[in-house]
Each structure stands twice: as structure tokens, then as C-alpha cells.
Structure 1
Amino acid sequence: MKELFKAGFFWFACTLVSIQVVAAQPAIQGCSSENSVGNTQTLHCGAGITIIAEQGARFTVQGERKGRLEGVELDGKALLIEVPAKSGGNGFQVITPQAIAAVRGTKWAVDVAGDKTSVFVVNGRVSVGRRTGTHVVVLGSGEGVDVEPGAPLTVKRWAAARVSALMARLGQ
């Protein structure tokens, strides 16, 4: 993960707020919540960060610094995240059991199913690496990677059907 740290993406020890999207959730400090299309929940957080959670998604919001969330730990199902670009701004990370996806301004989806994490970039750029190890790949718009034990991190342009299926789960 050295590359993530060198690139200015860093992880902070923060206050944790655990969420499971089953129905409307109580407000998270710094975020407003609304139920959205297709049984999803949308969180609008400080600094323009938007998180759309699939029904049943299990995630933990990682602290707030200067009015901006620092990240999310995702344990199951999918999130669609939009983080506006900010000059010299703080990075934002999604940590899953298999991977860390870090960004500085983009819209991307992260899906956890069993022992696999899939990351897809709608627009912008996202660095993805394993939680253990130093190999990192960078995804651009329309690209994705599956992170699973024993398999290489291979960046691929995802087929329209795969993108549509994931986005439909997220009300897009």
C-alpha cells in the first residue's frame, strides 16, 4: 500500500458509525439521509460527498475531518460514491475485506460479495490495492477490477451488461 500513501492517500483512526441499510437510518453526523430509487439510501455529506447504498449494504463511516468524511469500511453489498475534486484536498477511501480503493475526486462503485471486492469507476480515477501487499492499480472511467484471493489485479473495461446490473442495484 506504499503507493497509496505516497500518492497522498492516508487512513486515519477515527470515530466509527456502523450502518446497515435495511430501512431509513438515523442521521450520521455531517450527513443527511434520504430513501431513494429502488430501495437504496442516499447520504449527502459534508464537502459534497454522496454515498448511495444498496439495500442490505453493511458499511461503517470513518470519521469526519474539517467537515469532510475520510472514508467508509464496506463489509457487504454495494455503494456508489461521488467525491468532488478538491485542490490539495483530503483523499477518500473505501476499505473492504480484500481491498482499499482511494480517490481524490470521482464517482465510483464498490461491491463486496463473499471473498471478492469489485471496484468500477464511472468517471475520474481510483487507486485500488489489496489490504495486504503493495501492488496498486489505477482505474479510469469505464474500468473495473476484481480483487479476490490468489488472482492478479487486472484492470478491465467492464461490459455494458455488468455495469448496468451494478448500477441498477444502486438505483442508477
Structure 2
Amino acid sequence: MSVRWLRGMRIGLALAPGLVGSLTGPAAAQGAGCTLAPRTDPPPPRQVLTCGDGLTIAAETGAALTVIDRNRDGRPDAVTLDAKAVLVDRPPGAGRFQILTPHAVASVRGTIWAVDVSADQTSVFVEQGRVAVSRPRGRPVVLGAGDGVDVRPGTDPLTVTRWGAARVAALLGRLGR
């Protein structure tokens, strides 16, 4: 996993890499009060970003993400994810947090959820809590525990479904759960 830390940015539809103030790799995460560490137990191998405000992001091998601190307070406000999957644990009361993908925006105040990005779609699953999911500039749907949604390009309404045990296990297994 590569991590890039961007400070003081306003989020738009596209994030430009290499902006002033961006850092890459473990030093970026640690410089922002977060630590990035490899984990292998339980399998599979993954990288886990742990921040002082209780935010934990487990990313499967090969995931590339950008951590964003919009207000420069040293705490992540959002993450962009272009491929692969992450599992996010954001404690209640820790403030708003978003995962931005090419297909969707997933916003939460405190919960545990997974986001999986492929070339064709973004899938979001909520293990605990509630998450609002929308296309960029679209109407959100709200997912509760056990709910998921697949977001594809287009304008069709988003459909929330209960994910079966096999699909949940397949996604969460990729993230060490």
C-alpha cells in the first residue's frame, strides 16, 4: 500500500497528485500522528493505518490511498481510494469521515465499514453503524449493519441490499477479518 498525506486541500472531483505539502510512505502517516504498519495475523497480509483519534484503516495488499486532512488539524478527514479494498473503523464522536472513489462517496460519523473499488464499480458494506453512500453529486442512500450497495457509473438509483454471508466473508476475509 502506498499512502500519500495531503494537508489543507479542498476536495474536488479529481485530486491532483504531488500537490505542495504532500508526503508519501510511512513518514507521511507518522508525521500526521498516524502509524502505518504491516499486519499478517490473521492472514492475509495487509497494511494498517492507525491514528491518534481512533481511526483505523486496514488496506489489502496493493491498495493505493490518499489520506486527506482538509482543515490541517493533524487528523484525517477523508481518504481517496482508486483500487482494491479498505476496512475503516471510525469511533462514534470522532467527527465526519469520507471515502472517495471514482464511483462513490461514503460518509460516516462513526462505524465499521468496507469499501471495495474495481474498474467497473465501488461496493460498500457496513459491518456496524450507518453510512451514507452516493455518487458524486448524487442522492445518498443510507446503509445500516449488514447492508451493502454497488455503485456503478450512470444515473440509475442506488439499491441497498442485505449482503449474504458468503459475500461478506469474501470481502472481509481480504482485510483480515
Identify the TM-score tier after normalising by the shorter chain. 0.7 to 0.9
The residue number in structure 1 matching 2:83 is: 76
Matching of residues 92-171 of structure 1 within 5 Å: 92-133=97-138, 135-150=139-154, 151-171=156-176
Aligned residues: 154
Aligned partners of 2:66, 2:24: CA distance in 1, in Å? 4
User: 5+ unaligned residues in a row in structure 1: which ranges?
Assistant: 1-11, 20-24
Moved over 6 A (4+): none
SS of 1:68 mapped into structure 2: coil
Which structure: greater strand fraction?
1
Matching of residues 40-55 of structure 1 within 5 Å: 40-55=46-61
Aligned partners of 1:121, 1:107: CA distance in 2, in Å? 6
Partner amino acid, structure 2, of 1:75: D
Aligned partners of 1:145, 1:18: CA distance in 2, in Å? 31
Aligned partners of 2:140, 2:162: CA distance in 1, in Å? 17
The residue number in structure 1 matching 2:38 is: 35
Provide the alpha-carbon RMSD of the alignment: 2.0
TM-score between both structures, scaled by the size of structure 2: 0.80
Aligned partners of 2:23, 2:123: CA distance in 1, in Å? 23
Contact between 1:18 and 1:60, CA under 8 Å: does it hold in 2? no
Q: Per-residue CA shift, 1:48-68, capped at 9, x if unaligned?
A: 000000001111001164442
Contact between 2:86 and 2:115, CA under 8 Å: does it hold in 1? yes
What is the identity percentage for the equivalent residue pairs of Structure 1 and Structure 2? 52
1:26 Cα offset (Å): 4.2
Relative distance call for 1:161 and 1:70 in structure 2 (3 A) is: same
SS of 1:110 mapped into structure 2: strand
User: 5+ unaligned residues in a row in structure 2: which ranges?
Assistant: 1-8, 12-20
Matching of residues 10-21 of structure 1 within 5 Å: 13=10, 16-17=22-23
SS of 1:164 mapped into structure 2: helix
TM-score between both structures, scaled by the size of structure 1: 0.82
SS of 2:50 mapped into structure 1: strand
Aligned partners of 2:121, 2:46: CA distance in 1, in Å? 22
Q: Per-residue CA shift, 1:69-106, capped at 9, x if unaligned?
A: 101000000000000001xx520000000100000000
